[in-house]
Amino acid sequence: MHSPCFRRLQGKTQVFPGNESDFYRNRLTHSLEVAQIAKSIAIRLNATASQFKRKVFKIEPDIVEFAGLAHDLGHPPFGHNGEEALDECMRNHGGFEGNAQTLRIVAHLEKKATFPSLDRDFLPIATDHMDLRCGLNLTFRSLAALLKYDRLIPERSSDREESGVMKGYYAEDAGLVSMIKQHVLGDDFSGEFKTIECSIMDIADDIAYSTYDLEDNFKAGFLTPMSLFSLDDDIYDAVAATIRKRIPKQYPEKITLLDKIEGDLVRKILYTIFNEVLFGVGDEVKSIMRARNIEWSAKKMLVAAEVQALSYKLANDGYHRVKFTSSIVQSFLSGIEVVAHATHPQLHQVRLEFETFLFVEVLKNITYHAIIRSPGLQVVEYRGKDIVTAIFNAVAGSDGTRLLPDDFRAICRGASEMVKMRTICDFIAGMTDRYAFEFYGRLYGTNHLTIHKPL
């Protein structure tokens, strides 16, 4: 929490750009919420799950909380479009991916520790260009809690098996990942590696994303509870398709249900989530429906007006909105199960019960397809991607490293092409949205020239 990379998260967008309103969540506030949810899950499992009854097998809540705080440190400016831009720029130099960058930040880039030099001074890079940086000097178990994807990202794009951003860790961190596995498990292990702490953080991230981002949408006026039921059919179908893609890996025993995951099911789940707060039938409504002196069209109008009023209250009244999101989060926390690992308790996994999984995925993806993929936000993200690419091309161009701050320039001096490109990528990935705009402006003339403002 004391590191610059964590503070910079306040300047990185979660859903809506921070300059639009102080209310909207940013990557920092999102990380705080994920950490709190993750720690709550760990405490709950320690108290209720049979796998963690013995003291030696207890989950360490502090490590889980750390994972929640740190999980987004590697996100570049402008969210996933910034990630795509850097990955495209680095496609033949090791690629870029937010989770891989998170591991790199805490293990190398943060300026807390280096391997000791002869004069006991800090020496980030040795004279033979060996990287001596130790980042935050964390334990291997803490580093393991951030290793979400146990897959090496190839250095060359021709070696990739898929297009787009590839989830995993950088090739230059392969040795570190091997050490993490050895110290956490204590023996040779060839299966998929993901610790219980990392698994909890992953679930907490989904829960926070699905509920709190929806709350921001309500506050912003982009969505209302009732508008969720009148979106284009394509959006419901897209949500269903996204859920179908996730089921085989997380719930292989549910593959036979894939055909039932369709747009109509998405609507039914939304109805179940909002039924009590929007569609509960009170005595007044019942009396209106029974009244014989009121035409059916008038009854329809009166009921529709009441539901619309409830929808407005839920979206705009802070007390009702917070009560609703809190109850949803609590219900999701109650829907978590443990998938035990046969040989290594460190690799026990948690997952949402299948019904809870469907609820979380519907809320999470309805926000994505209805708002994040909407033209208004896509224009902003497109511009962000263009800005990141332009900065990278300028700094990576002929003699472009002269544009870097002194510490980054020192690493590039005399370094290999691979190290130079990774260092440029590190510099840009660490920018906040505002700093990226400003740096771009100083390069391309949208701001006044200045030599006094530091890089």
Q: Rounded mean pLDDT of 3-30? A: 80
End-to-end CA distance of the chain: 23
- Euclidean distance between CA atoms 231 and 242, whole angstroms: 17
Q: Which residue has the tokens 């897959």?
A: 151
- Residue 127 pLDDT > 80: no
Under DSSP, the state recorded for 398 is T
- pLDDT on residue 17: 65
- Residue 383 pLDDT > 70: yes
pLDDT tens, residue by residue, 384-417: 899 999 999 999 998 899 999 998 998 998 889 9
- pLDDT on residue 21: 66
Lowest mean pLDDT among 195-199, 206-210, 300-304, 318-322: 300-304
pLDDT tens, residue by residue, 434-452: 999 999 998 987 665 555 4
Helix/strand/coil for 124: coil
In 3D, which of 169, 119, 123, 133 has the Cα closest to residue 148? Answer: 169
Helix/strand/coil for 350: strand
Lowest mean pLDDT among 283-292, 308-317, 337-346: 283-292
More confident residue, 66 or 116: 66
- Residue 60 pLDDT > 90: yes
Main-chain phi, psi angles of 280, to 5 degrees: -65, 135
Alpha helices in 60-150 (DSSP H): 61-70, 79-89, 98-104, 140-144
pLDDT classification of 131: cutoffs 50, 70, 90 = confident
- pLDDT on residue 296: 82
- pLDDT on residue 35: 96
User: Which positions ≥6 away from 272 have C-beta within 8 Å?
Assistant: 359
- pLDDT on residue 451: 54
Cβ 370 vs Cβ 231: under 8 Å: yes
pLDDT tens, residue by residue, 332-343: 999 999 999 989
pLDDT tens, residue by residue, 137-150: 999 999 999 999 99
β-strands 336-339, 169-170 pairing: unpaired
- pLDDT on residue 379: 74
Cβ neighbours around 228 below 10 Å, total:
26
Main-chain phi, psi angles of 153, to 5 degrees: -85, 120
- pLDDT on residue 305: 85
- Euclidean distance between CA atoms 268 and 258, whole angstroms: 16
- Euclidean distance between CA atoms 98 and 146, whole angstroms: 11
More confident residue, 232 or 20: 232
Q: Which residue has the tokens 């740096």?
A: 439
In our burial notation (b when 16+ CB lie closer than 10 A, e otherwise), range 162-190 reads eeebbebbbbbbeebbeebbeebbeeeee
- Euclidean distance between CA atoms 89 and 48, whole angstroms: 47
